[in-house]
């Protein structure tokens, strides 16, 4: 199973999100084609209600502890249900300054 699919499965199971995107952004960096090294996660869940941003990120990092040992970068955009309903999108990732596409 790919790292991306594992991330999706684990977050879906643990957080029961109303919205989940796991985007492999490795192609934006100076890595070999087909790499799974850089990911962006956009997740909206009722499980985040009442939690500050740092607690949400810690929760995701705990869920993905094994995967974080295998990847280089994980950009997190975590929202409550209401925040996601209001905003409806996550910011674009900035271009890589270390080379690549």
For residue 101, name the pLDDT band (cuts at 50, 70, 90): very low
Of 80 and 26, the structure prediction assigns the larger pLDDT to 80
Find the radius of gyration of the CA atoms of the chain. 14
Considering the four listed CATH numbers 3.10.50.40, 1.10.3720.10, 3.30.465.10, 3.30.300.90, the one that applies to the domain covering 3-87 is 3.30.300.90
Most distant pair of Cα atoms in the chain: their distance: 41
Would you say the C-alpha torsion 72, 77, 81, 84 has a positive or negative sign? negative
pLDDT at 29 over 60: yes
Q: Walk across the sheet containing 19-24 and list its strands.
A: 19-24, 38-44, 73-79
Query: Domain boundaries in the chain?
Result: 3-87
Instruction: Band the pLDDT of 53: cuts 50, 70, 90.
Output: very high
Alpha carbons 20 and 27: distance in angstroms, whole number:
20
Mean pLDDT to the nearest integer, 63-82: 94
pLDDT at 90: 81
Write down the pLDDT at residue 88.
Answer: 81
């Amino acid at each position: 199973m790919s790292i991306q699919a594992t991330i999706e499965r684990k977050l879906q199971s643990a957080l029961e999100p109303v919205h989940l995107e796991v985007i492999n952004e490795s192609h934006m960096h100076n890595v070999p084609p087909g790499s799974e090294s850089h990911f962006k996660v956009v997740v909206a869940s009722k499980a985040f209600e009442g939690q500050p941003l740092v607690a949400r990120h810690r929760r995701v990092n705990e869920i993905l502890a094994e995967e974080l040992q295998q990847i280089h970068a994980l950009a997190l955009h975590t929202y409550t249900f209401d925040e996601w309903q209001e905003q409806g999108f996550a910011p674009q990732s900035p271009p890589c300054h270390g080379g690549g596409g």
